[in-house]
Structure 1
Amino acid sequence: MRAAFTREAPDVRRQALVDAAEVVLAREGVAGTSVRGICAEAGVSPGLLRHYFEGVDQLIAAAYEAVSQRIDAALEAAVDAAGADPRQRALAYLTASFAPPVLDPRLLAAWIGFWSLVKTKPRMAAIHAASYAEFRARLETLLARAGARDTRLAAIALTATVDGLWLELCLDPATFGPDEAARIVGRALEAWL
């Protein structure tokens, strides 16, 4: 936890609030997430939240966007590291979810909180729709370059497979490991190519 109520640059304080929202949501769940708890985690006074955000809903939405961007960056780094082969690039994009920083029980805890708000908060639904659309669009591009024909359905099916495996890996890593998850997705990918 950060030291209580320190003076920092505005960008640092805003980012501290975003990061703290993710931490508190993961630790306390939606019901236990409060302005006071987030501000204590960030080391700022509760009144400062209103300086950067209209309220806790806007802050949690900013945290969802930040987490989505962090995941996107990890997936893109995996693709970049995969080399030039289109099939390996598509596989890297899919299997990056089975390695840190994406494979993380704390991330799962925050993600469950975000998901639980998608049906009740329009801003969260919009962020969810946009992030999944971007994931599928990127995957469709990778699949097309790898030789898949029905890229839209392939992207939907592979996204659901990755989500399910990621969820199970985070919840119970004793059932199967990341290498097995990667093999499962690899087989599913080959079926679509």
Structure 2
Amino acid sequence: MTAARQAFTRESADARRAALIEATAACLAAHGLAGTNVRAICARAGVSPGLLRHYFEGIDDLIAATYRATSDRIDAIFAAAVEGAGADPRVRLNAYLTASFRAPVTDPELLGAWTAFWALARSDARMAAIHAESYAGYRARLADLLHGCGADPDRAERLAVMLTAMVDGLWLELSLDATSFGAAAAASMVEQAVAALL
């Protein structure tokens, strides 16, 4: 097989895996766990059920891959927000925290998928591990940003837990009802909390 053929084959495999992951997220968002099955996922992805089993061990493996991919996508959004904020540590911190209040993070479809992941994390060890890793990474990056704003490492870790809970609560309410208080108000609340805490 030539190098070009190998690259094309690999790209096609990656594209198929990505299409199945995207279809799984969409099914979870639209139908919840009860309506997410091999047939629904494959229909949405436009592939045969056999192809799913070619790339994943089964639906549980695919849902776990979808949780990891979704977490990675959100992490990239947060990282881009920080990078686009410039050099000022406080501005970078606020960018990280308030990225949760803008699209695509506030997309209702993301909420549907995310709540399914949370539900599975309570009963599935692999999903619980992905959840723990994802949230630990978020809090560690937040603690680094807080440390950059002058908080000592121990205090930064505690504040990261507190601010993560606050952001999650505001994000959840905004995702459920965008008219409840609005993204600008959510960002302002977080910025006021940061100012008081630091």
Deviation string for 1:46-95 (max 9, x for gaps)? 11111111110110010111110110011011101111110110110000
Give the aligned partner of residue 192 of structure 1: 197
Residues 30 and 113 in structure 1, CA contact (< 8 A), matched pair in contact too? yes
Residues 79 and 89 in structure 1, CA contact (< 8 A), matched pair in contact too? yes
Matched, 1:183 2:188: yes
Q: CA deviation at 1:188?
A: 1.1
How large is the RMSD of aligned CA atoms in angstroms?
1.0
Residues 148 and 192 in structure 1, CA contact (< 8 A), matched pair in contact too? no
TM-score by length of 1: 0.94
Q: Residue type matched to 1:108 in 2?
A: L
Q: Residue type matched to 1:126 in 2?
A: A
Structure 1 consecutive aligned stretches of length 4 or more whose deviation exceeds 6 Å? none
Q: Residue type matched to 1:29 in 2?
A: G
Q: CA deviation at 1:167?
A: 0.2
Matched, 1:46 2:46: no
Give the aligned partner of residue 126 of structure 2: 123
Q: CA deviation at 1:192?
A: 2.0
Structure 2 unaligned blocks of 5 or more: 1-10
Residues 97 and 166 in structure 1, CA contact (< 8 A), matched pair in contact too? yes
Give the aligned partner of residue 3 of structure 1: none
2:137 to 120, 134, 138: 134
Deviation string for 1:86-129 (max 9, x for gaps)? 01101100000001111111100110111110011111100000
1:88 to 60, 66, 91: 91
> For 1:44, what is the secondary structure of its paired residue?
coil
> For 1:32, what is the secondary structure of its paired residue?
coil
Q: Residue type matched to 2:19 in 1?
A: A
**Percent identical:** 60
**Separation of aligned partners in 1, 2:197 and 2:160:** 9
Give the aligned partner of residue 25 of structure 2: 22
Q: Residue type matched to 1:166 in 2?
A: W
Give the aligned partner of residue 168 of structure 1: 173
Q: Residue type matched to 2:38 in 1?
A: V
2:105 to 102, 105, 110: 102
**Separation of aligned partners in 2, 1:10 and 1:137:** 33
> For 1:17, what is the secondary structure of its paired residue?
helix
> For 1:22, what is the secondary structure of its paired residue?
helix
Q: Residue type matched to 2:86 in 1?
A: G
